[in-house]
């Protein structure tokens, strides 16, 4: 990556690392684990998208949260997200669960 990125490589790596670790955190929900342990491709009963982003934001890892959020729903407009205020980088349909 170094030929293409001139910033702090350690910070970049840690940002990506945190996003990778937390991006599917919601799959650890007990209800989701019941489905995942059986396999079969059945959809998850609890949407898993918001948990990782919420955790990363709570730890002030905003760049990692953006990567996690974008992984699930695509890259979003930062100004549009900021306009959501307390729901910044959050799925408003899931915010009450996490």
Please tell me the distance from the alpha carbon of residue 65 to that of residue 31, in angstroms, as a whole number: 24
- Domain membership flag for residue 95: no
Average pLDDT over the chain, rounded to whole? 87
- Domain membership flag for residue 59: yes
State the average pLDDT over residues 19-47. 88
Question: Is the pLDDT score of 62 beyond 60?
Answer: yes
Rounded to 5°, angle at Cα 80 from 87 and 4: 105
- Domain membership flag for residue 4: no
- Domain membership flag for residue 48: yes
State the average pLDDT over residues 32-44. 85
- Is the CB of residue 89 less than 8 Å from the CB of residue 95? no
Domain that holds residue 57: 9-87
- Domain membership flag for residue 55: yes
State the average pLDDT over residues 41-50. 81
Question: Is the pLDDT score of 98 beyond 60?
Answer: no
Total structural domains within the chain: 1
- Domain membership flag for residue 46: yes
- Domain membership flag for residue 76: yes
- Is the CB of residue 2 less than 8 Å from the CB of residue 9? yes
State the average pLDDT over residues 32-60. 87
- Domain membership flag for residue 16: yes
Closest CA to 95 of 61, 58, 62: 58
């Amino acid at each position: 990556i170094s030929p293409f990125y001139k910033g702090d490589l350690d910070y970049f790596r840690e940002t990506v690392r945190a996003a990778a670790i937390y991006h599917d955190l919601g799959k650890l929900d007990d209800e989701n684990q019941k489905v995942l342990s059986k396999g079969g491709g059945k959809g998850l009963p609890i949407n898993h998208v918001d948990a990782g982003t919420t955790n990363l934001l709570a730890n002030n890892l905003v760049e990692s949260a953006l990567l996690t959020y974008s992984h699930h729903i695509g890259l979003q407009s930062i100004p549009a997200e900021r306009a959501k205020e307390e729901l910044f980088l959050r799925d408003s349909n899931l915010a009450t669960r996490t």
